[in-house]
Structures are given as C-alpha cells and as structure tokens.
Amino acid sequence: MDVRPIGIFDSGVGGLTVTGRVMQVMENEKIVYFGDTARVPYGSKGKDTITRFSCQDVRFLLSQDVKAVIVACNTASSNSLDYLKSTFDVPVFGVVEPGAAEASKITKNKKIGIIATEATIRSGAYEKEIKKADSSIEVFSKACPLFVPLAEEGWCNNEIARLTAEKYLAPLLEKGVDTVILGCTHYPLLRSCIQSVVGENVVLVDPAYETAVRVREYLNKNGMLREENTKAEHKFFVSDTTNMFDRICSEALKENYQATEINIEEY
Ligand code: DGL
C-alpha cells in the first residue's frame, strides 16, 4: 500500500474534468492538482516550450511527494509524455493512448474524428496511437482553439458555442465519422453542445475515464493503491489567481475547493 497522493497537472483548470474521473474511479486516493494558470494555453505553443513547462509541473508535483503523475493535459501528453517518462523516476500516465484505444474499440465504420488544440493535432499523437490499435481506421482531425475560451467563459451551451461547434465539426461530419475524441480537457465542459451538433449517432469519447481506469490498474498491480477508507484529502494549486477555478471546480467536481497559488518558475 502507498498512501501518498496522485499528482495531476494540466495547463490550467481544464484538467479538473480528468480529476473528477480519477476521484470517481479511485475514491480512496488523495490528489494533488496543479493547474498552470499563469502560462495557459499550452495548445498554441511549440513542443520545446510545452516540454519545459511540463517538466516544471512534474517537479512541483514531486515536491508534494506524489506516487504517480497523470498528465491530464492532452497537449502535454501528445508532445512531452515520452520525455517525462524517461526523465522522472515516477510512473507517468498520459491521456492520449487510453483515449485512442477506447475510440478504436467503439468505432463501427472505422472513421474517427479528433478535436483538440493546435499543438495536439500537429503532434499527430492520437492518429499514431489509433493506427497502432487498428491500422485500417481512418482519422480526421480538427483543431478547435475557440472551445477553450468559450468553456472558461462559461459559454458552454449558448448560441455562440453552438455556431462555433457547427463550424468546427462540419468537416468531420462530412467525412462520416461515427466517433469523436474530445482531445482537450476543456471540451467535456461543452459536451452537450458538441453532442447536439454531431447528433446522437456519433459517440463522443472523453479519454479521462479510461485514463483513470488504467492508473487504477497500474496502482493495484503494483500494490500502490491507498486502501485506507478514511476520507481522502485533496490539494489544489495554481500558478496564478484565477476566477475560473471556482466555477470549473464546481462544474467538474461538483464540489468547491480552495486553490493555493505557487510560483512555478521556482521548479
Ligand atoms: N489543457 C489543454 C489540453 O488538454 C487545453 C488548453 C491549452 O491550450 O493549454 O490540451
């Protein structure tokens, strides 16, 4: 048994959607969450910057004595996961491979759409993982940068969100995709809007749940689950004050937590 917390990081508050799934799948586990709110977005940055920021994020989590790290950010997972795995002496989990594997199992017509940030789409990481699972699957990608500010503004299901979703998703629908991966941690907040645009016959895949299941399997196999059933305490950190934190926190976790501000440049 390992009673230390699980570390989770994201470029900002979007990773709280992943945190919610981790809490649901491993209710005994303590969580330390870091959202790099001072430097969000990562999705418009280059690979080297994303990797440098991600290394600092992991170093901060290690300073909190975490037993494993979940890279909740799709952008960091798709650009920096291999580097993080080879650099740090702690199990590191990304969201891309679990999301790709899940979508590959679900698609019936073997046409999958991916919506994500510019940097995630540019990396080709989802496509690579899907092709590994089944090389006959066709993959269609679309960067949807405006979804992030819409979600942060709380405009998740209004007319502007809907028009934006229609514009972004039209090329994927034209290709006849039957499965769409929500390849950015903010997008689950827009889920009902996206679902209404793609229609009920298209399955939306949020990689968060499958990621949490994989982490639980790993911890279980390695005798690292926290098996105490005393209430798990969670800690939340951000690198800049944000009034988004409270709202996204209550939407994604259905509970309010207080975030502590830290200086990420010190790590
Ligand atoms: N959290 C990022 C992701 O999942 C989206 C926001 C950003 O661009 O930093 O890709």
Ligand 1 in reach of 14 Cβ (< 6 A): yes
How far apart, in whole angstroms, are the C-alpha atoms of residue 137 and residue 257?
41
Ligand 1 within 6 A of 74 CB?
Answer: yes
User: What does pTM read for this prediction?
Assistant: 0.95
> What are the structural domains of the chain?
6-94+209-266 (3.40.50.1860), 96-207 (3.40.50.1860)
Residues with a catalytic annotation lie at 73, 184
Nearest Cα residue to 115 out of 94, 146, 93: 146
Q: Name the token pair of 19.
A: 């945190």
Over residues 90-119, the mean pLDDT reads 98
How far away, in angstroms, is 11 Cα from ligand 1 center?
6
Judge whether 247 and 22 are in contact, CB under 8 Å: no
Note the helical H segments in 134-235.
147-153, 159-174, 191-198, 207-221
Half-sphere exposure of 159 (CA within 13 A, CB side): 0
Q: Which atom of ligand 1 is the closest one to the Cα of 184?
A: 4
> What atom in ligand 1 is closest to the CA of residue 75?
10
Supply the pLDDT for residue 200: 96
Where helices occur in the chain by DSSP H, the ranges are 16-25, 47-63, 74-87, 96-106, 118-123, 125-133, 147-153, 159-174, 191-198, 207-221, 244-253
List, for residues 155-178, the tens digit of each pLDDT value.
998 999 999 999 999 999 999 999
pLDDT above 80 (res 242): no
Residue from 74, 146, 187, 189 to probe ligand 1 pocket by mutation (most atoms less than 8 Å from CB): 74
Ligand 1 neighbour 185 (Cβ under 6 A): yes
**Can you tell me which atom of ligand 1 is nearest the CA of 148?**
6
| Nearest CA owner, ligand 1 atom 6 | 41
Separation of CA 14 and ligand 1 centre (Å): 7
65-91: pLDDT as tens digits: 999 999 999 999 999 999 999 999 999
pLDDT the model gives residue 151: 87
244-253 vs 16-25: helix crossing angle, rounded to 10 = 30
125 lines ligand 1 (CB under 6 A): no
Strands 203-205 and 138-143: unpaired
Tokens of 138: 């066709």
Task: For 127-138, write each residue's pLDDT tens digit.
Answer: 999 999 999 999
Cα–ligand 1 centroid distance for 221 (angstroms):
30
